[in-house]
């Protein structure tokens, strides 16, 4: 079965960077785009960016351009999201999510989430 397993919670100081991993199993890793989203405490969902693991092409939300980097490692079926210049406003649960087959920009499987806390 499809599984997306993310790395554990992180606590970072303002100005630092964080890198979250998402390991996939149960499907052909290079056949589906992977997305990263986040959800601040008590808030809604916000899309950060995506990667096509087959070729590593990426696209990012404009407000995160220059601060977010999404990469993939096909040898381990793992996608990474790195966010730099962290501030308290980046405190959130970060999710990876797979693009549903045959339907553009639709998310069918989600990782369990990684809480990133930014605090001095």
Partner 1 sequence: DIQMTQSPSSLSASVGDRVTITCRASQSILNYVNWYQQIPGTTPKLLIYSASSLESGVPSRFSGSGSGTDFTLTISNLQPEDFATYYCQQSYSPLFTFGPGTKVEI
Interatomic CA distance for residues 120 and 4, integer angstroms: 31
Residue 49's closest CA among 28, 26, 72, 27? Answer: 72
Instruction: Show contacts with partner 1 in window 69-98 (CB under 8 A).
Output: 95, 97
Asked whether position 112 contacts partner 1 by CB under 8 A, the answer is yes
- Residue 8 interacts with partner 1 (CB under 8 A): yes or no: no
Interface with partner 1, residue 105, by CB under 8 A: yes
Residue 32, token pair as written in the block: 């589906």
In whole angstroms, how far apart are CA 44 and each of 30, 41, 70? 29, 9, 21
Site membership for partner 1, residue 45 (CB under 8 A) = yes
Stretch that binds partner 1, among 18-26, 43-51, 67-75, 81-89 (CB under 8 A): 43-51
Q: Does 44 bind partner 1 (CB under 8 A)?
A: yes
Which DSSP symbol is given to 111? -
Among 13, 55, 75, 103, binds partner 1 (CB under 8 A): 103
8 Å CB contact between 36 and 81: yes
- Residues within the interface to partner 1 (CB under 8 A): 44-47, 59, 61-62, 95, 97, 100, 103-108, 110-113
């Amino acid at each position: 079965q499809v599984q997306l397993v993310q790395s554990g919670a992180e606590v970072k100081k303002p100005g630092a960077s964080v890198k979250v991993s998402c390991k996939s199993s149960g499907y052909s890793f290079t056949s589906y785009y992977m997305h990263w989203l986040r959800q601040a405490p008590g808030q809604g969902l916000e899309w950060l960016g995506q990667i096509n693991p087959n070729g590593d092409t990426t696209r990012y939300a404009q407000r995160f351009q220059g601060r977010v980097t999404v990469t993939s490692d096909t040898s381990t079926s793992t996608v990474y999201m790195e966010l730099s210049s962290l501030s308290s406003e980046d405190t959130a649960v970060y999710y990876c999510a797979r693009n549903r087959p045959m339907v553009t920009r639709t998310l069918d499987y989600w990782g369990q989430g990684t809480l990133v806390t930014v605090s001095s």
